[in-house]
Chain A
Amino acid sequence: MSGPRPDAYWDAAIVGAGHNALVTAAYLAKAGLRTVVLERRERVGGAADTTQLAKNIRVPTLAHTVGRLRPSIQKELELRRHGLSLVAPEVRVFAPQPGGGGAVTLWANATRTAGALGADGDGYLQFDRRVRLLGRFLDELGRSTPPDIKSPGLVDALAGLRLGAAFKGLGRDGSRTILRVLPMAIADLVAESVEDDALRGVLAWRGVRFGAVGPWSAGTAAMLLLDAAGNAGGAAGETVFARGGAGALSEALAAAARAAGATIRTSAPVARITTRDGRATGVVLEDGEEIQARAVVSGADPKRTLVDLVDPVAIGPSLGWRASNIRTPGVVAKVNLALKKLPTFPAAAGDESLLRGRIVVAPGIDPMERAFDATKYGRFSDQPILEATIPSLADPSLVEGARAGTHVMSVIAQYAPYWLRDGSWDEATGGREAFGDAVVAVLESVAPGIGKLVSHRQVLTPPDLEREYGLTGGHPLHAEAGLDQFFVWRPLLGHARYRLGLERLYLCGSGAHPGGGVTGGPGQNAAREIMRDLRRRG
């Protein structure tokens, strides 16, 4: 009998070409494993994407900053050599208050920020120190594979020791503090350090960003600390742009993967994952093409992977039930605007450099909570919380060839639930465009006249994100980043070690520990585990 055609058999078949999947692919290929990446869309990147908003106007379609990407990944995959170029403005966050109420500005340099905060200056520095200290521990957590609680092995014991050491490294107060702080509501945590409600709001934003939670929800403190883990963001958070938009990062990752020998196929939608005797054996594309592999790695979200791509019989009813209950309540919409000229923010008093970071409109704790309340009753907020960027300020290449003065604005808008109780997102009135209007109205309150500057507008609702990027429920983090889907139980207890339900089936996307955001963390950790398995047994 003749062996399989050389290109018909792979060590690893990776479902999806999101940034985590590309990281995994690059590491596996570097290790000499025959790796193929199969992407449904016509280009790589998933949610780290740059698209044409209008002629000669490009915009980071979904994710707009890449500051959390792990430094070790940039170095080991030589992303700069593969075309990645980063811009980090000195201003991290500019938070203008609606109705000419001044602004809060967070700089890369915490002391500089504190200097302008008056009475809250010391509180801010204390908060910054606390975030950095606890963030370091969560980074240690994030780089390790969650321990196997069923049958702890030697590796887990060692990992446990390392975590234990890191825990002790927090010191007596630090170790007591983190256990108290992790389950806290971010509103309570910021209130322990600072008084000004506007400052509390902008600091609390990272605790609720991308989550179906409000600042009063328990566990939002952990979300902020996770955002601060493994980067130098501190209390202000990172603000780093990739020249060419987030899609440029994906291109660099893809280039690194290809250079290492990985094959990347776009417009190659995976229909299902094939199994034999409880073991993943490969995938079948929608056109019927079969691809065999020793390991199947899913960059898709865990719910889609287990519920849609795998045969229910193979995983059994219990895991099936649990998978169907993975929480993916998308509440984030994306609004991308082409602007005829740079809008005027009175609070910036003409200082254009203030607009180069993240422009956050989160005017206080209660307004954020009220914006969240709407989603509980199936409505979108008519006063949404916004994180906007004007990437064309730092990266003119995005508007190269467009009329002089043109800019693009990328807006993450919360809260907009996946399900609208009355009506649908596609309705002419009360749907997608109505939310777009609400977002522009909020922008008007901090940048009067911006509405007239809009030449093109793109509104992506959670159902759009699901349709376009395959994110179940339109959740940008693949699975809600709550305490109930964290560390040893992300995405599911007993399946947090990147091995997902079946032998030789792996999860490498944001649904795996340490979770979502453009970090590459899950992809890097997953690659490590996959190599261990594939090396161990043939």
Chain B
Amino acid sequence: MPQRYDAIVIGGGHNGLVSAAYLARGGLKTVVLERRHVLGGAAVTEEVFPGFRFSVFSYVVSLLRPEIIRELDLPRHGLDILPLDGTFTPVYEGTGRTPPKDGNGNPIGTGDYLWRVNDHGRTVRELRRWSRLDAEAYEEYGPLMVDMARFIKPILGIVPPDPASIDPRPLLPLGGLLRSFQKLTERQQAVFVQLMTMSAYDFLTQWFETDPLVATMSASGIIGTYQGIKSPGTAYVLLHHYMGEIDGAFRAWGIPKGGTGGISNAIGDAARANGAEIRTEAPVATIRVAGGRASGVVLESGEELEADTVISTVDVRRTFLDLMEPGTVDPEFEAEVRRFKFRGSSGKVNLALDALPSFTALPGEGEHLRGAISISPTVDDMERAYDDAKYNRFSVKPYIDIVIPTLVDPSMAPPGKHVMSCFVQYAPYKLDPSLGTWDEQREAFGDAVVNRIAEFAPDLPSKILHRQVMTPLDIERTAGLSEGNIFQGELSLEQLFFSRPVPGWARFRTPIRDLWLGGSSTHPGGGIMGANGRIAALEVLRSKRRRP
């Protein structure tokens, strides 16, 4: 006699755990089924080398919805976000402005850097060193972006309407949006439209002229996309990454204590506290569909579980192409699912360090290592990195976003030692045949990343004790993300809002009754946000007329 539940949640990533917590909170007998031995999906912490704990995939947080933190009381369940202050961008020697000097007027290092911190005054002074105009523009740009993010934030909580449906009710939230849009000044409206349509580069160069500044700021427009900073649509991703910064919960990016797995564990605890059952090493083989409705799942072990509702938080391709018998959904819908673009473009290199590296532009240890270190010295480098990827090669000189968590959370490594997390673009999932497979290129890619950083911190290689290289293929194998796309599907304009994941099916429901989607494949997309899992769960509860 198979186990019976009200709700089965497929996937123990942060979204799966969030929906489980809300479903259980809503009174449903809920079980989470996670394939791996560890919870978190792409938000996991693992001790890959003895004593060294890595946030293997995602490594920082800021988008996590404050209402989730509040409603699930996550701090009580161990959530602790340590602030990450500033972005340090070393540039090539000779490309700086006035070389930074120490108290005695001697150059601090060779080469130059651009260093922005949360202290606005300090950042503006630093920018003035590069360009007075940019320093002035920055004063205006910051508040403007906050306004923009504040305006668009409600969209994160909306269930996207089906533009083709004749039922006007789902359109109501849009009406509210239109009204608040009309309240914006014409200039704000124009800037918002630009954010939805422009490239990050075109958008930013309206304000800024400093090359490393534009390069570094535009970088957040390409995270997780198969686009370059000059590709239309990337300004939206720029905004997407801005949204976390305005919640007041934490005004900037932070590092979860214990790594991003710390978040997953906190949400997991909250789910259990609400009565949810969580099973690891319980890989789902198929979703059972009978008479057009989902009735449960079969595990790879052959064990069967029954439920009134199945919520899949794995991506839309896995859900409908891997976890179902072919021909279960109608061909039209299946074609749309196949059409949904993943195209993983990022890799991850995690380093175990004997000691901290020293950057020639600002030698030695210091505050600048406590924030993000961005390897984005020029706009051309950023764009060339993308050109490599367009033709199915990993970037020779990739963009790298580095954090050293041990500086804010020493528990991640043995005393005196450090871990260094390197997020890398671009590493396209599909490699040119002449390069062979990712299994053959993994170490070459790792070398390219280390050598790239060594251009600015020559002693890094000598400090490396261990190295973990995660290619898009590894991300797909380990975290189960199709084509290694960290957002469970590209955040490109045609895959947003009512077209995410499938036009007409953006309301978390699917053509199969009682089967719901709650992962990043759905609106509002990826990042450690949890919004998808939360809205999905609330919709399920609403459909059962239960109060959350």
Contacts and interface: CB of A to CB of B under 8 A. Distances in A.
A149 B186 CA distance: 10
Contact of B494 (A149, A181, A322, A482): A181
A266 interface: no
Instruction: Bin the interface of chain A by size.
Output: 35 or more
Q: Is the interface of B mostly helix, strand, loop or mixed?
A: helix
A327 interface: yes
Interface string B186-200: 110110011001100
Interface string A338-357: 00000000000000000000
A183 B186 contact: no
Given A180-B503, A218-B232, A493 B190 contact: yes
Nearest to A175: B164
B343 to A, nearest CB: 10
Given A376-B383, A484-B202, A489-B190, A216 B390 contact: yes
Contacts of B320: none
Interface in A360-387: 366, 369-370, 373, 376-377
Contacts of A483: 197-198, 232-233, 493
A172 interface: yes
Contacts of B354: none
A318 B186 CA distance: 10
B498 interface: yes
Contacts of A531: none
Contact of B187 (A173, A219, A322): A322
B474 to A, nearest CB: 26
A108 B194 CA distance: 38
A182 B492 CA distance: 12
B503 A219 contact: no
A219 B503 CA distance: 18
A191 B69 CA distance: 43
A218 B193 contact: no
B230 interface: yes
B101 to A, nearest CB: 32
B499 A318 contact: no
B190 A218 contact: no
A2 interface: no
A376 B197 contact: no
Given A150-B182, A179-B498, A494-B189, A218 B492 contact: yes
A180 B494 contact: yes
B163 A175 contact: yes
Contacts of B233: 183, 218-219, 483
A484 B232 contact: yes
A188 B490 CA distance: 13
B190 A213 contact: no
A483 B198 CA distance: 7
Contact of B391 (A176, A366, A489): A366
* From A172, A179, A218, A219, residue with most partner B Cβ within 10 Å: A218
Contacts of B186: 150, 318, 493-494
A172 B164 contact: yes
A468 B219 CA distance: 39
B231 interface: yes
Given A150-B186, A177-B503, A192-B339, A482 B232 contact: yes
A493 B231 contact: no
A439 B233 CA distance: 32
A486 interface: yes
Contact of B182 (A149, A219, A373): A149
B198 A484 contact: yes
Given A325-B206, A493-B186, A217 B193 contact: no
Contacts of A150: 182, 186
A184 interface: yes
A437 to B, nearest CB: 25
A218 B187 CA distance: 24
A492 interface: yes
B247 interface: no
A176 B206 CA distance: 33
Nearest to B332: A173
Nearest to B495: A180
B380 interface: yes
Contacts of A192: 339
B164 A482 contact: no
A322 B198 CA distance: 14
Given A376-B230, A494-B186, A179 B503 contact: yes
Nearest to B496: A183
Nearest to A377: B380
Nearest to A369: B390
A181 to B, nearest CB: 7
A484 B197 contact: yes
Contacts of A322: 187, 190
Nearest to B186: A494
Nearest to B235: A484
Interface in A139-162: 149-150
B190 A183 contact: no
Given A180-B499, A181-B494, A219-B197, A318 B187 contact: yes
Contacts of A177: 503
B390 A218 contact: no
A148 to B, nearest CB: 11
Given A376-B383, A493-B186, A183 B494 contact: yes
A218 B387 CA distance: 15
A300 B109 CA distance: 52
A529 B198 CA distance: 29
Nearest to A214: B390
A493 B190 CA distance: 6
A150 B391 CA distance: 44
Given A188-B341, A217-B232, A318-B187, A482 B197 contact: yes
Contacts of A493: 186, 189-190, 193
Given A177-B503, A217-B231, A325-B206, A486 B190 contact: no
B99 interface: no
Report which residue of B492, B493, B494, B503 has the largest number of chain A beta carbons within 10 angstroms of its beta carbon: B494
A489 B193 contact: yes
Nearest to A322: B190
Contacts of B164: 172-173, 175-176
B504 interface: yes
B503 A176 contact: yes
A434 B387 CA distance: 25
Interface in A170-214: 172-173, 175-177, 179-184, 188, 192, 213
B70 to A, nearest CB: 34
Contacts of B197: 183, 219, 482-484, 486
A218 B198 contact: no
A218 B231 contact: yes
Interface in B197-219: 197-198, 202, 206
Interface in B341-395: 341, 380, 383, 387, 390-391
Contacts of B206: 325
A493 B189 CA distance: 8
Contacts of B341: 188
Nearest to A325: B206
Given A377-B383, A486-B197, 17 more contacts: A150-B182, A176-B162, A179-B163, A180-B503, A183-B197, A183-B494, A184-B494, A218-B493, A218-B494, A219-B232, A219-B493, A366-B391, A373-B387, A483-B198, A483-B233, A493-B186, A494-B189
15 contacts: A172-B504, A175-B164, A179-B163, A179-B499, A183-B494, A217-B232, A218-B232, A218-B493, A218-B494, A219-B232, A327-B202, A366-B390, A376-B383, A489-B193, A493-B189
Interface of A: 149-150, 172-173, 175-177, 179-184, 188, 192, 213, 216-219, 318, 322, 325, 327, 366, 369-370, 373, 376-377, 482-484, 486, 489, 492-494
Which are the 6 A-B pairs with shortest beta-carbon distances?
A: A183-B493, A176-B503, A483-B197, A484-B197, A218-B233, A493-B190
